[in-house]
Each structure stands twice: as C-alpha cells, then as structure tokens.
Amino acid sequence: MENSIHKIGVFTSGGDSPGMNAAIRAVVRSAIFYKKEVFGIMKGYEGMIEGEIVKLGARSVSNIIQRGGTILKTARCEEFRTPEGREIAFKNLKKEGIDALVGIGGNGTFTGLHKFYEEFKIPSICIPGTIDNDLAGTDYSIGYDTATNTAVDAIDKIRDTALSHSRLFFIEVMGRHSGYIAINSGVAGGAVAIIVPEEEGDFEKLYDQLIAGSKTNKKSNLVVVAEGSKIGGANELARRVEERSKYFDIKVTILGHLQRGGSPTYFDRVLASKMGVAAVEGLLNGQKNAMVGVRGREIVYNDFEVINSSQHNEIDSESLRIAKILSI
Ligand code: F6P
C-alpha cells in the first residue's frame, strides 16, 4: 500500500460515545503498521483551530480499548463553521505536515469534514461514532450498542421497583431526533409503550392503552420515551396522565448522559477496531472524502453525497410493531 499520504491526523468531535477510544487505537496502530505517522488532534475542530496537535505512537493508545469517553477529548465547535476558522485549522495542519484526516463522530463532524475537504482537498474519512445510530450509510455507529445496553440495564432495575410498588414509570432515553435507543431498549426491557421522535405520537392512544392495561390486572407499566418525542418528554407525559387519572402512581426517570459513558461492549470494540483499520486502509487506497460504514458483515465506504442525501438511518418500524403486540 503506497501512496502520497505520510501523516494522518485523527480526532473525535461532537458528542462522545463508548468505543471512540477503541477506534482511535485502531487508527493509530493501523497507520503505524503501514509505516505512517499519526497525530492526535485534541478537542475535535476546536483543537485543530487552536493547534493542539500531539504525535501519537503505538504505546500512546495502550490500555484504552476498554475505556469509555475519548482520550482525544471532544467539543462542538462554532468557529469551524466559519471560513476564517477553517483557514486557521488548515494552516495548523500544514504546519505539522498532516496530509490526511480521520474524524470520528456524528453528522456535524461529517458535515464539517466534507466542507473542509471541498475547500482544502485533504483526503478525509469519517468513522461513525454516535450513540444515536442515526447516520445513513451504516447499519451501526460506534457507541449505540453500549448505550442501548446501558439503557436496558437501567430499565431492568426500574422494573424491579416498579413491580414492587405497582407503579407507572416514564423512562426517558437519549435521542433528540433518533428513536433507536428507545425502540431497542424498549423492546428488550419489555416496555408497555415506546415513543420515538420519528413518529407523530398520539397521547390519547397511549392513555387508552394504559387504562386498558389497568383493567386487565397490569400491575406495573414502563413507558420508554426518546427525549425528542413529539408528544412531550417523560416529565410532560407523566404530568398529562396525572391530570387525567388518579389511578396511577407515577414516577419519572431520565437516564441522560449516563448513556454516553461506560466501558464499550464487545460489539462496539470490534466495530470500532474494524472501522479504524478500514479508515486508514481506505485513505491509503485512495478514498478521499468518505464515511466508513458497515452493511451486514461488510465494511463499505460511502461518499458524502450519499450520506447527505438520505440524512437518517431509518428506524426499524417492525420492532415497534412487535412491541405493540407484546405489550397487551
Ligand atoms: O448525539 C448524541 C446525543 O447524546 C443525543 O442523543 C443527545 O440528544 C445529545 O447528544 C446531547 O448532547 P449534549 O451532550 O451536548 O447535551
């Protein structure tokens, strides 16, 4: 594998996700395997603008495969949205001689890197790292599996206490625009109802379902709500049900950022390792402006036009159908 790339810069950007460290490790080690130099750019685009760039060796990424978060830190950077910001970033990369980039993150990371490629033509590859799993062009993004398992674990614990007290719980999981965590943690956790941002939602139907359950001796109820629900988050839904009926003893749990941390599952570690190697090999094989993805067992490279045109990894409506059947 020979080409003109000598120095690869790697960074994480946007919301962190468990498995990002495993991806960094894979990028660093595979680059060194192919005799390239690797540099870590701290805090994503912010570090690119501030020139916070550090040389990485094979040992710099020892003992991180199992760690949540990102050793390179991350940020959401407004300045990179401006041409001036990107110009400064380009100069800093040039100063270090960096001639290729690997960005690990979600939609915002991709959009930024695509724009940067169009302006400065530095070969760039993105690795999907977001718990939301909302990226077109890949079945899975790094961190989604871990976050969903974290949510399931929490739901199981809530179920114990819900059952003891015969309570109705509204459990809010992350996902402003994506119902992936809600759907799969809801099905796996045996939720009575799952509310996702991709659907309009119907409060009356939800209420009727809860009342119907109460008449068939349903002792405890768990409703899983994605934070971007169009009929209100967990607090709002709890308030609306309480207003209508004194029958239920209602509690709310918002899982929040605990879904973003923790040791990645085997699935996320393997996914991150494969994608990290694929990103480096893709660059060395001439990919210039692409996102690594996984389709079934295959690694694929999507160009940015494909990702931008379809926007969102569609939710699995079959799972929602199953959840409805199983919640009687
Ligand atoms: O994109 C990942 C995500 O965790 C979303 O699910 C959530 O809506 C958002 O990030 C929260 O962002 P922040 O950490 O900036 O509050």
Global confidence as pTM: 0.96
Q: Which numbered atom of ligand 1 lies nearest the CA of 260? A: 4
Q: For residue 154, what pLDDT is reported? A: 98
User: Which residues line ligand 1 at a C-beta cut-off of 6 Å?
Assistant: 15, 106, 130-132, 174-176, 227, 260
What is the number of alpha carbons within 13 Å of residue 243 lying toward its C-beta?
A: 8
| pLDDT tens for each residue of 243-262 | 999 999 999 999 999 999 99
Q: For residue 313, what pLDDT is reported? A: 75
pLDDT confidence of 324, banded at 50, 70, 90? Answer: confident
Q: Is the pLDDT of residue 156 over 70?
A: yes
Q: For residue 3, what pLDDT is reported? A: 72
- The tokens describing 192, both together, are 């009575």
Computed over every residue of the chain, the mean pLDDT equals 95
Measured in Å, residue 131 CA sits from the centre of ligand 1 at 8
Q: For residue 219, what pLDDT is reported? A: 77
**Residue identifier of the C-alpha nearest atom 3 of ligand 1:** 15
Q: For residue 37, what pLDDT is reported? A: 98
Q: Which of 77, 111, 173, 174 to mutate to test the pocket of ligand 1 (most atoms within 8 A of CB)?
A: 174
Measured in Å, residue 77 CA sits from the centre of ligand 1 at 14
**Residue identifier of the C-alpha nearest atom 11 of ligand 1:** 15
State phi, psi for 229 to the nearest 5 degrees.
-50, 135
> How far from chain centre, in Å, is Cα 244?
36
Q: For residue 309, what pLDDT is reported? A: 61
For the chain, what is the largest distance between any 2 Cα atoms, rounded to a whole number of angstroms? 71
Measured in Å, residue 319 CA sits from the centre of ligand 1 at 23
Beta strands at 100-105 and 124-128: parallel, antiparallel or unpaired:
parallel
Active site residues: 132
Q: For residue 310, what pLDDT is reported? A: 58
| pLDDT tens for each residue of 21-34 | 999 999 999 999 99
Q: Is-contact 89 48, C-beta < 8 A?
A: yes
**Residue identifier of the C-alpha nearest atom 15 of ligand 1:** 15
**How long a stretch of residues is the chain?**
328
Measured in Å, residue 257 CA sits from the centre of ligand 1 at 8
Measured in Å, residue 140 CA sits from the centre of ligand 1 at 17
Q: For residue 311, what pLDDT is reported? A: 64
**Residue identifier of the C-alpha nearest atom 10 of ligand 1:** 15
Beta strands at 289-295 and 193-195: parallel, antiparallel or unpaired:
unpaired
